[in-house]
Structure 1
C-alpha cells in the first residue's frame, strides 16, 4: 500500500491557509484551487496534514480545526521535533525561510515545499543549499506555474522543437514588487529558458539611494523592466505590459500563454516564412500548488528530483537580486552568480 506522508505546515496566514477564500467565487477560480498550502496538502491523496504552526496561537488552532489537523503549535521547532514529519510546508514571510528550511533539513525531513520569495539575502540561499543538498531533501518552490500542466505542456512544445531554436522569452507581467510579485515572473523566465544558468542580468527598479543601508535594500522595489542573458543563448525580457502572459519566440514559431494561464496561442512559419496560427493542444487548467505537492510525493517515492528543486529556486531568486543590483549600479550588466553574497532585499516587515 502506498505510503501516506506526514506533513506539518509552518505559517497559517494567507498563502498558508486562507487565500482560497479570496478566489473561490472569482473568475477563473479553477486556475488556482486548491491554492493555499493547507488546501493542497489536504487534497493530495498521499499526504496527511498532521500539524500546523503559527506564532498566533488562536490562528493556528483555527486552521487546525478548519483542515482537520491533529495538533497546533506556536513554535515550528517543537512541531518538527515532536511530529516525526516527512514533509514540511513553509508559508511564512521570507525573513525566516532560511532558518526554517535549515532546521527542517537537519531534523531529517524528506521533503520541503517553500513559499516564494525564497529568502531575503543571497547568502541565505547558499546556506539553504548547504543544508538540503547533501541530505537529499526533495524541495519544491512555491512558484506554482511551473508545476501546472498548461505551462509544462508549453515547455514540452519548446523542447520537441515546435518553435525551432528558441531565441527570446518575454514576460508580460506588469510593474510589480520584486519579492512579492516578480519572483513568479523570474521563475517563468527561467522555466521557459529551459532552466539554463544565466550569464548576466540588467534592470530598472523603483528605489532610491536613501532606500539602501549598506547592502540591504529596505524596501521591496517595483521592477519596471528586466533583461536576462542565459548561457544557452536565450534572451529573456520582463516588461511593464500587464496580463501575466509569456511569449516564447523561436526560429520557426511563437507560443504565447494567455490570460494568466487560461490557454495559449501557437503560430508557426509557413512555406513563405510568415507566422500563421496553428492548432495548439488542449489547455489543461489545474492547481499548481497541488501538483507541486504531488511532485514532492513522487520524488520521495522514486528518490528522484523535483520539478522546482532548490537549485532552480536559488537560480530564479538570484535573478531578482541581480536585477536590483543592476539598478543600484546604474543599469550595468551584473554577472551571475552574484559576487556580492551579502546583498539583501529586506524590509522590516519581511
Structure 2
C-alpha cells in the first residue's frame, strides 16, 4: 500500500492555485493544510477555491499542529529563511520556491539546518523537467558538441501594459526579494549550471528598472527591484556565457532562445518547445522530444502550463521521501545555494560596477 505523505503549503496565491493541485494530482500526497501570509482572502474563500479544509492565518501554528511530512513554501523570498528553519527544526521536509533566500548567508544556514535535521530540502526549479530542457541536458552530457565554447541564453516578455497599469506588490521591492533576477533569473541560472555541469567563475552583471513607478487608483507604487538583468562571464569549465532577460517590453517575437556552441556542434532551443542540433558540417536537425504529460481535466490554463515539469518534480520528491531514491536531477538545497551565490554576485556587480570572481 502506498504511503500517504501529509503536505502543508504556505501561500494562498500561487501556492493555492498551482502547488495544491499539483500535489493533489499525486496519489502519494495529501494537502492537509494551507497557511496565508497576507489577509487578501478569507479562510472561507480559500477553502472554497482549493477544497482544503484546514486554513491557517499563522504558518507556525500550521506546522505545530498538523504533523506534516512536507512543507511547501510559496511566499516572498524575504520569508523563506525563517520558514525553512522553523520547519526543519520540527523535522519537516521542505520544498522551497525560488530564489532560496535573500542572500547566500541565509541559504548557507538553510543548507546547514537541513543537514542537522536529517531532512530533505528541495528547490522548486521545476523547469528542469520540461522535455526540451532535459534533451539539452542529454545532448551536452553526451559530449556530441565537443568542448563547450559559449552559451547564450535570453528571454523577453511584452509586459509593458501590465507593468504600467498594475501594482506588483512585494515583487516590485528589492528589500522583499522581488525582481526578475530572482523570479526568472534563478531558473535560468539553475538550468545553465545543470546543463553544463559547471559553476560560474567570473561575471559582470547589470540590473535595470524600466518602469520605476506606477499609480493605480490614486496609490503610487515605487519599484526598487529589477525588471531586466544581464550577466556575462566564464564558467569553471572554461566556456563563456551570457544570460539576459527583459520584461516590460511592448512587443516580442520569441519568448526564449538558448544557443550552445561547441567545437563539434551547435544546439538551439526555442521557447522550451523545440531543440535543433548541427554537428560538424551538417545542417541543423530538429530533434524528437518526449511528449508532455497530459494534465487532468478541469485544470486551468495556468495549471496546465506547469503540469508537466511540476508533477515530474513532485514524483521525484515522493520517490526520495518514500524510498530514499534521490533522482540525480532533483534540485536540492545545494543547487539553490549555488544559484544564490550567483544572484548575489550579479547584485554586487551591478551595484558597484565591477567584475566579480566567485
Fold in common (TM above 0.5)? yes
C-alpha distance in 1 between matches for 2:224 and 2:81: 19
Instruction: State the shift of 1:65 in Å.
Output: 3.4
The number of aligned residues is 301
Instruction: State the shift of 1:97 in Å.
Output: 0.5
The TM-score with structure 2 as length reference comes to 0.77
Instruction: State the shift of 1:59 in Å.
Output: 4.1
Superposed CA RMSD in Å reads 2.4
The TM-score with structure 1 as length reference comes to 0.79
Secondary structure at 1:133 match in 2: helix
Cα pair distance change 1:91/1:318, threshold 3 Å: same
Instruction: State the shift of 1:304 in Å.
Output: 4.2
Worse-superposed segment, 53-62 or 68-77: 53-62
Q: How does 1:1-350 map to 2 (within 5 A)?
A: 1-13=1-13, 15-18=14-17, 36-55=18-37, 56=39, 58-109=41-92, 111-174=93-156, 177-194=180-197, 196-206=198-208, 219-239=224-244, 243-259=255-271, 261-269=272-280, 274-286=281-293, 287-305=308-326, 307-330=330-353, 332-336=354-358
Cα pair distance change 1:263/1:138, threshold 3 Å: farther
Worse-superposed segment, 224-233 or 72-81: 224-233
Secondary structure at 1:226 match in 2: strand
Instruction: State the shift of 1:122 in Å.
Output: 2.6
> Contact 1:139–1:296 at 8 Å: present in 2 too?
no
Deviations 1:105-162 (A, max 9, x none): 11101x3211122222232112111111233332222232113333123201211223
C-alpha distance in 1 between matches for 2:239 and 2:87: 36
Secondary structure at 1:180 match in 2: helix
More helix as a share of residues: 2
Deviations 1:75-119 (A, max 9, x none): 11111111111111111111110001111111101x321112222
